[in-house]
Amino acid sequence: MNYESIYREKLCTIESLVEGIQSGETFATSVIPMTPQSFFSNLHLIREDVKGVEVFTILNPSPYDFFSKKEFEGRILNNCWFYGPGDRAAADKGLHTVTYVPNNAHQAIADLVSSRRIDYFVGSASAMDEHGFLTLSCSAFIERDLIKAARKVVLEVNPNAPRTFGDSPIHISEVDHIIEVDHKLPEETLISPTKTEERIGEFIADLIEDGSTIQMGIGGVPYAVSKLLYDKKDLGVHTEMLTEAMMELFEAGVITNSKKTLYQGRFVCAFVFGTQKLYDFVNNNPSVFVMSGSFTNDPYVLGKNYRMTSINAALMVDLTGQVCSEAIGTRHYSGTGGQLDTHRGAVQSALNGLDGKGIIALRSTAKNGEVSKIVPFLPLGSPVTVPRQDIDYIVTEFGVAHLRGKTAYERAKAMISIAHPDHRSTLESEARKIGLLF
């Protein structure tokens, strides 16, 4: 089979793709760092008569015109599974161009497909090999399932995208249109942990036992934790996001993936986000499996892992252990992503007798200490990311509250003990007012 000529027949330009968009069509797109940048940078050039276009996006790296300009209200709607800074800025300006899609990552695509038809999947891929295979490169998270669901598949093929294994290979026969691009993948800005984050990291590092399989969420605290794991042995990785810090722990011999129950000797992740060093590490690396989030994030899959330990960050937690990680009151900030999935998976590992731990970490205060992130109850309008009936460990720089199985009274006591000392007496009197403490 001459795959080269099949590939060439599928080549098209971004201009012709955008020119062909019809009113009411629905597009679903790939995750950072595989964001289809050419598509997003040109989408605002749709024909003037086109309206009612729906685009499903996740963690946009830039404030693209199609949702950052008022003139696109009613013409293009950015339905966002997880807000990035650009999505947040558009929502903060009150533009009617962006809305949030409540979801648990592992079921996001099944839920989407149950609610509508997907006309196009637009994603990114690495170059094709001699067997006609491209790869989805740094993310099979939602991409693999969207390819099955969409009527047409469009890929931006980038020679700088690493080739990966797992659910990532995609055959040219599965693709309808190809747009060739050539840009570096977006890189994560790594910021050194603060003293507070390091203190939280120390408490969490004490909870992580040798042989654990870890998942780390987004944010400063998970990054700080990984810097403190250098004395551990035989850690494994089964995570939504594969990070730079995990690669460094592998190079230091701390992560061996040898004690995992599933995919021993392999990293399992749904997407990879870091710097070029990480992208070079995963390139053609058979020890990294980039897999569909409907598998990686399924709590029942995660729960099979020995000592499955999830570490996720939160914006605030109430005195009974209700976690909000995605909004500040009614202001939507990020998303649930895989937080509830991975937390539940870790607790499932404990329920299966495999010693799992679900850890939620947060600084005790925000806004230079003025605001306590531990609150008597979540502010009006806050969504609950992890319900209190699922909660296991909460960690701040003042210690660890192990809430699983505890009463509301015991939880309030434990939560106040890890709040910032400046806020403890207020929390205590509030807890008495609402009947949590007596």
Residue numbers annotated as active site: 240
Which residue, 169 or 220, is less far from ligand COA as judged by CB?
220
CA 228, chain centre distance (Å): 22
CB atoms within 10 A of CB 160: 15
Tell whether residue 305 is a contact of ligand COA (CB under 6 A): no
Q: How far is the CB of 127 from ligand COA (least distance, A)?
A: 28
Interaction pattern, residues 164-203, with ligand COA; x per rule: CB under 6 A: ----------------------------------------
How far is residue 206's CA from residue 158's CA, in Å, rounded to a whole number? 42
Which residue, 43 or 218, is less far from ligand COA as judged by CB?
218
Which residue, 140 or 314, is less far from ligand COA as judged by CB?
314
Q: How far is the CB of 314 from ligand COA (least distance, A)?
A: 5
Instruction: Select from 246, 247, 313, 361 the one that contacts ligand COA (CB under 6 A).
Output: 313
Q: Are 140 and 162 in contact (CB under 8 A)?
A: no
CA 166, chain centre distance (Å): 18
3-state DSSP assignment of residue 428: helix
Instruction: Select from 60, 124, 334, 364 the one that contacts ligand COA (CB under 6 A).
Output: 334
Token duo for residue 382:
């806050």
Which residue, 26 or 239, is less far from ligand COA as judged by CB?
239
Task: Kindly indicate which of the ranges 93-101, 112-120, 321-329, 404-412 contains the residues binding ligand COA, using the contact rule CB under 6 A.
Answer: 321-329
Interaction pattern, residues 199-228, with ligand COA; x per rule: CB under 6 A: ------------------xxxx--------
Q: What share of the chain is helix, strand, coil (3-state, %, to 5)?
A: 30, 25, 45
Which residue, 126 or 325, is less far from ligand COA as judged by CB?
325
3-state DSSP assignment of residue 181: coil
Tell whether residue 326 is a contact of ligand COA (CB under 6 A): yes
Nearest Cα to 179, choosing from 42, 28, 3?
Answer: 42
Q: How far apart are the first and last CA of the chain?
A: 77
Tell whether residue 345 is a contact of ligand COA (CB under 6 A): no
CA dist 283 → 162, 263, 276, 288 (Å): 4, 19, 10, 9
Token duo for residue 65:
């015109």
Of residues 353 through 392, those in contact with ligand COA by CB under 6 A are 366-367, 371, 373
Q: How far is the CB of 311 from ligand COA (least distance, A)?
A: 9
Tell whether residue 50 is a contact of ligand COA (CB under 6 A): no
Residue 165 dihedral angles phi and psi, to the nearest 5°: -110, 180
Tell whether residue 87 is a contact of ligand COA (CB under 6 A): no
Tell whether residue 79 is a contact of ligand COA (CB under 6 A): no
Helical (H) or strand (E) element with 24: none
E strand residue ranges, 314-404: 316-318, 323-324, 327-328, 331-332, 357-361, 365-366, 371-372, 374-375, 393-396, 399-402
Of residues 234 through 263, those in contact with ligand COA by CB under 6 A are 240-241
Which residue, 305 or 325, is less far from ligand COA as judged by CB?
325
Size of the site for ligand COA (CB under 6 A): 25
Find the farthest-apart pair of alpha carbons in the chain and give their distance in angstroms, rounded.
77
Task: Kindly indicate which of the ranges 171-179, 255-263, 279-287, 322-330 contains the residues binding ligand COA, using the contact rule CB under 6 A.
Answer: 322-330
How far is residue 129's CA from residue 133's CA, in Å, rounded to a whole number? 5
Please give the residue ranges that form the binding site for ligand COA (CB under 6 A).
217-220, 240-241, 312-316, 325-326, 328, 333-335, 337-339, 342, 366-367, 371, 373
